[in-house]
Structure 1
Amino acid sequence: MKTSTDHHTWYSSFAKATARYAGRPRTFTLAVAVIVVWLVTGPLFGFSDTWQLVINTGTTIVTFLMVFLIQNTQNRDTEAIQVKLDELIRATQGAHNALLDLEELEADNLDAFKARYLALAAAARAQLDLGEQDTDTPEA
């Protein structure tokens, strides 16, 4: 009996493989070849509405499906990067653990953190302009 997890694993694997293949030069070359064949056949079909409908329908379907597959892959990659960054923050002595879940915060709270770090960056640049180091940890 298949479980929901089996379905998600199958879909994730399929999405990942599709996104990987879609980004290859061979796939792009194939897409260009399809367009060239379509263009060359234009005179054969008298540049008819049906001839135009074929390419419009085909590209719309492919684009529609690719959006979901690539978004799935992008979401998974983003989550993995966030977990890796969270681990680096957690494992770094003196790092602020409050930064671990910034991607979950509302915009106002995120803006407050951003303003704090913008101020730190400005202060560090001012130190550099004075010929000083900018590699300390100001909160320590």
Structure 2
Amino acid sequence: MERKGSVASPANKGYFERFASTVTQATGSSAAFIIAFFTVIIWAVTGPLFHYSENWQLVINTGTTIVTFLMVFLIQKAQNKDSMSVQLKLNELIAATKGASNRLVSVENLTEDELKVLQDHYKMMAELTRQASDLRQSHSVEEAIKDTAEKLEDEMGTGHTL
């Protein structure tokens, strides 16, 4: 069921949000590339007219520096928004999937050390699953350990667990 107002309409976005989205889309287009390409061509062709002067070089250097400086911030804003959107979608999938480990919801907010612990956890799960040779069997480290212990019990007939 769609909640009223759950998707931001253009009217709900702030001025900078609308501006950044428009500029990001425009500068990522084929037309923008063609304009930039022909700007460089025109600049290069006019070199002999201006005797390849320092001012002639300064025009392209200043222009590209300004554009690059501003685009870094617009690109970062777009990447931040895209990253947040992807993280939210992944969180929804994890939360909605039975058997998925909820410890991964909002994993992007963990410290690097905490991420390393999780990475080691999943490496162990992958190794246990690989040893069991059926990649579709386990959903968590705990299940992988349990499945491996049960298989070892069956093979050895000892009844011991890991």
CA contact (8 A) 1:16 1:73 kept: yes
- Residue type of the alignment partner of 1:121: A
Report 1:39-118 matches (<5 A): 39-118=44-123
Report 1:30-41 matches (<5 A): 30-41=35-46
Report 1:100-139 matches (<5 A): 100-127=105-132, 132-137=133-138, 139=142
CA contact (8 A) 1:45 1:51 kept: yes
Greater Rg, structure 1 or structure 2?
A: 2
1:17 aligned to which of 19, 22, 33: 22
Percent identity of equivalent pairs? 44
Please give the root-mean-square deviation of Cα atoms over the aligned residues, in Å.
Answer: 1.9
Residue 133 of structure 1, CA deviation:
2.2
Give the TM-score of the pair, scaled to structure 2. Answer: 0.74
**Secondary structure, counterpart of 1:43 in structure 2:** coil
CA contact (8 A) 1:12 1:73 kept: no
How many Å separate the matches in 1 of 2:27 and 2:34?
11
- More displaced 10-residue stretch of structure 1: 80-89 or 91-100: 91-100
Give the TM-score of the pair, scaled to structure 1. Answer: 0.85
How many Å separate the matches in 2 of 1:101 and 1:125?
27
Residue 126 of structure 1, CA deviation:
4.2
Unpaired segments ≥5 residues, structure 1: 1-5
